[in-house]
Chain A
Amino acid sequence: MSDSPSTADDLAIAIEDMQFAWPGRDGFTLGIEEFALRRGESAVLVGPSGGGKSTLLGLITGVLTPKSGAVRILQQDLSNLSGAKRDKFRADHMGIIFQQFNLLPYLSVMDNILLPLRFSQQRRETAGATDAERRETVHTLLSNLGIDPEDLAGRTAARLSVGQQQRIAAARAFLGEPQLIIADEPTSALDEGRQAEFLDQLFAQQKRTGAALLMVSHDSRVAERFDRVVRLEDLAAKAAKAGTATAKPVGPSAGKAA
C-alpha cells in the first residue's frame, strides 16, 4: 500500500490515527495509525483470535465508532454521521458476508437476497428498475455464483447447505453493486474443496463489479489470492510505535472468534 501512492478519492477505506476502546470492557483498545484499501482492491486481514479483527470490521462498517481519529469509507468520515446515517451508509455502500448464519431462516432465498434493497434505494435502483428486473439481476448473480436460481430462489433459507447459504450471502452482498464487500471468515464453515470454489466465485464477482473486498481470515493459505495481506498485529504495532495503545486480547474477549 505504502509503495503505491494513491489519491484520496480512489480509497474505499482510509483509517488514520484511529483509537477505539470498548465501552465497559476494561482494557481492550484498538489503535490503528493507518490503514487504506483502494477501490477494486482485495485484501485479506489476518491476525490471532481476539486480536480485534471483528472490532475493526465493526469500525469499518460503522457499527462501532472510534474514540478518536478518522474512519473514512469512500471519503465519508463515519464519525461525522449519526447512528442512523451510518446504518444507511452501510446499506448503500457495503455488502457483508458472515462466517455463517447469514440468512433469515424464515424468508425464501429470493427474499433474503432482495432484503438489502429494502434499506437502500440506491442499491435498489442499481439492481433494476422494476421488481422483475431486480429478480432477473438476482438470477444472474446466483448463476455467477454457481447456483441454479430456478432450483433455489423460491426455497426457504433454512433448508440450504452451508455452502449454498454462503453463496446466497455473497449474492446478497453483491446485489446492487455496493463499492465495498466485507467478508468475515466466509469460508471457515466450508470444507476445503468448497473453500477454493467459493473464493473463485467471490473473486470473479468482485472483478465484475469492481468492488473493494476486505476479508478476514485466520487461514494464511488463502493469502496469495489477494492483492494484499494485512496483519492486524502490524497495523496495531505501527500504532504502538507511534506511542498509542495497541490492540491486545484481554478479558472476556480473549479466545473468542474475532
Chain B
Amino acid sequence: MIILRLAWQSLLNRKVTVLLTVLSIAISVALLVGVEKVRTGAKESFLNTISGTDLVVGSRAGAVQLLLYSVFRMGDATANITWETVEAIKRRPEVDWVVPIALGDSHRGFRVMGTSQSYFEHYRYRRNVPLAFGEGRQFEDLFDAVVGAEVAERLNYAVGDQIVVAHGGGRISFGQKHDDKPFTISGILAPTGTPVDKTVHISMEAMEAIHVGWESGSAPRGDAVVSAEQVRTMDLSPKSATALYVGLKSRMMTFSLQRWVNTYRQEAVTAILPGVAFGQLWSILGNVETALLVISSLVVFTALLGMVISILGSLNERRREMAIMRAIGARPAHVFGLFTVEAAALVIAGALLGLAIVYTALAVSRPFLESMTGLDLPLGGPNATEFTLIFAIVIGGIVAGVIPALRAYSLSLSDGLTVRT
C-alpha cells in the first residue's frame, strides 16, 4: 500500500511531465478506439445497406460488380435483363416478390433509378428498416419522382419542384437531356445512410416513357419526337430491367433459386446473395481498415515508448529518492514496484482519458457525422473489441513500464545508499 501512496505522491510531484505523458497515451488510445469505432460503424452501415432482399439478379457478372451497380449504384451493368426473364423469375414458386430496377440516367450527378412502387415496400436497410417518407408520397403520376434525402438537401428540393433527367450517367451527360419530359417531385425520403439517399426514383414506366424514340441511343429527331402528352397514351410496360431484388417465401429456398437462375438457359443471368457479395467486397475494403488499425496501433506504441523514455529520463534525478528508500529499509523490489505502479497508473489514466475523449467526441459529432457520411456510429459503451484493445494497451504499458523499473531496480541495488554518478 505504501508503494501505491508513494507512487501517487511522486506522480503528483511531477505534474507537468505526468500530464503530458498521460495526454499522449490518451490521444493515442482515442485514435485507436476511434478508428475501431469508425471501422465497425462503417462495416455495420455498409453491411446494412440492404436487408430483406434474398437475391439480387442481374445480367451475368461477378458478384461484386453486380452488387456495386445494383445496390451502391456504382459502375454500370454490362447488359440489361429482358422482361421475359423477369417474368420467368416472378413465376417461380419460391419467389414472394420481385422489385425491378432500371439504371442508366442521372440527374445533376445523382443516379436516376426506375423501379416499381413495391420498391418502397420491400427495400429494407439496417435490420429490416423500411424506407420512410420525409415529405410527400411515392410516385403515382407517370412523371412523378421520389428523391433521396441527400438529393433533396444538396439540390435544395421540395415536393412539387420540377426536375429534368439527363440521359446517361455521371455529372456530364453529353448534353442530352430528357427536358421534353420533366418530372415533378412527389416525395422526399427520410435519410437512411445508404445509397438510397443519393438516388432519384422514378417508375419503370416513366423510364420507358422518356426513352421512347431513343432506341438509337441518342435524342430523337423530327417524326420520332414524342411529346409528354402523347407518350401517356402509349404502352409503357417495361421491356427490360437492369437488376432485380428478389424476396423469397422462405430463406431455405435461396440456394435452389440461385442455382436455377444461374443455370437459366434463355439468358445469361446471375443471382447473388447480397450478404455473401458484401463479404467479398468488404474483404477488399478490409485492407484499408487493417492499415488504419496498424497505424493507430503504432501510434499507441509510440506513446508507450514516450512514457518509458520519460520514466527512464527521470531515473537519474530519482536515484537519491531510491537511496533514501533503501536507507529506511525498502527492498529493491519495492523500488521496482514503485516504478511499475507508476507506469501502470500512467497507462491506465491515459486509457481512461482516451476513452473519455472518444466518447465525448462521438457524442458531439455523431449527428454531424451521420448527416455528412451516413455513418451511424453506435454510442453504446465499449464493445468487446474495444475492451480487448484497452486491456492490451494497459498490459502493454505495464510491460513497457517494467523496462525502467528493472533499470531502477538494478540502480538501487548497485547504488545502495550512495548514489554514484
Query: Which residues of A are interface residues toward B (Cβ below 8 A)?
Result: 54, 57-58, 61, 63-64, 83-84, 87-88, 90-92, 96, 98, 101-107, 111, 115-116, 118-120, 172, 184, 256
Please determine whether A83 and B328 come into contact, CB atoms closer than 8 angstroms: no
Pick from B12, B326, B416: contact of A106, CB below 8 A: B12
Q: A84-B333, A91-B329 are in contact. Are A103 and B416 (CB under 8 A)?
A: no
Q: Is B416 touching A64 in the complex (CB atoms < 8 A)? A: yes
Instruction: State which of A64, A84, A105, A116 has its C-beta within 8 Å of the C-beta of B328.
Output: A116
State the Cβ distance, A162 to closest chain B Cβ, in Å.
14
Interface of B is mostly: helix
Distance (whole angstroms) from the CB of A108 to the closest CB of chain B: 9
Q: Which are the 8 A-B pairs with shortest beta-carbon distances? A: A91-B329, A63-B416, A106-B13, A119-B329, A116-B328, A96-B327, A118-B2, A87-B331
Chain B residues 299 to 341 lying within 8 A of chain A, measured CB to CB, are: 320-321, 323-334
- Complex Cα distance, B420 from A116, in Å, reads 23
Does B48 make an interface contact (CB < 8 A)? no
Residue of chain B at shortest CB distance from A106 = B13
> Which among B321, B328, B334 has the greatest number of chain A C-beta atoms within 10 A?
B328
Please name all residues of chain A whose beta carbon is closer than 8 Å to the beta carbon of B320 when the two chains form the complex: 101
| Interface size counted on chain B using CB atoms at 8 A | 24
Quick one: which of B324, B329, B416 contacts A102, CB cutoff 8 A?
B324
Q: Taking A103-B324, A107-B9 as contacts, is the C-beta distance between A58 and B329 under 8 angstroms?
A: no
Centre residue among A84, A91, A104 by max chain B CB count within 10 A: A104
Nearest B-chain residue to A123, judged by Cβ: B329
Is B262 at the interface (CB under 8 A from chain A)?
no
Cβ of B418 within 8 Å of any chain A Cβ, yes or no, is yes
Q: Which of A83, A105, A116, A184 contacts B331, CB < 8 Å?
A: A83
Q: How far is the CA of A45 from the CA of B89 in the complex (A)?
A: 106
CB of B79 to closest CB in A, whole Å = 78
Q: Is B10 interfacial (CB 8 A cutoff)? A: yes
B6: Cβ under 8 A from any A Cβ = yes
Q: Is the CB of B332 within 8 A of A83?
A: yes
Residues of A within 8 A of B328 (CB): 91, 96, 115-116, 119, 172
Q: Are A106 and B417 in contact (CB under 8 A)?
A: no
| Chain B residues, Cβ within 8 Å of A256 | 420
- Using a CB–CB cutoff of 8 Å, the interface residues on chain B facing chain A are 2, 6, 9-10, 12-13, 320-321, 323-334, 416-418, 420
When A54-B418, A57-B417, A61-B417 are in contact, do A104 and B330 touch as well, CB less than 8 Å?
no
Q: What is the minimal beta-carbon distance from A117 to any residue of chain B, in angstroms?
A: 9
Asked if residues A63 and B417 are in contact (CB atoms below 8 Å), the reply is yes
Q: How far is the CA of A159 from the CA of B44 in the complex (A)?
A: 59
- Of the listed residues B10, B326, B333, B417, the one surrounded by the most CB atoms of chain A closer than 10 A to its CB is B417
Shortest Cβ distance from residue B420 to the other chain A in the assembled complex, whole angstroms: 8
Q: Which residues of B contact A111 (CB under 8 A)?
A: 9
- In the assembled complex, 30 residue pairs joining A and B whose CB atoms fall closer than 8 Å, in A order, are A54-B417, A57-B418, A58-B416, A58-B417, A58-B418, A61-B417, A63-B326, A83-B331, A87-B326, A87-B330, A87-B332, A88-B329, A90-B329, A96-B328, A96-B417, A98-B417, A102-B324, A103-B324, A104-B9, A104-B325, A106-B10, A106-B12, A106-B13, A107-B9, A115-B2, A118-B2, A119-B2, A119-B329, A120-B329, A256-B420
Chain B residues within 8 Å of A116, by CB: 328-329
Instruction: Specify which of A64, A91, A104, A184 is in contact with B6 (CB 8 Å cutoff).
Output: A104
Docked CA distance A102–B325 (Å): 10
- The distance from the CB of B13 to the nearest CB of chain A, in whole angstroms, is 3
Docked pose: A65 CA to B9 CA in angstroms = 32
Instruction: Determine the residue in chain A with the shortest Cβ distance to B421.
Output: A256
* Residues in B neighbouring A106, C-beta threshold 8 A: 9-10, 12-13
Chain A residue contacts of B324, Cβ below 8 A = 98, 101-104
- For residue A207, give the distance in angstroms from its CB to the closest CB of chain B: 23
Q: Known pairs A63-B417, A103-B324. 19 more at Cβ < 8 A?
A: A54-B418, A61-B417, A63-B326, A83-B332, A84-B331, A88-B329, A88-B331, A90-B329, A91-B329, A98-B324, A104-B9, A104-B10, A104-B321, A105-B13, A115-B328, A119-B328, A119-B329, A120-B329, A172-B328
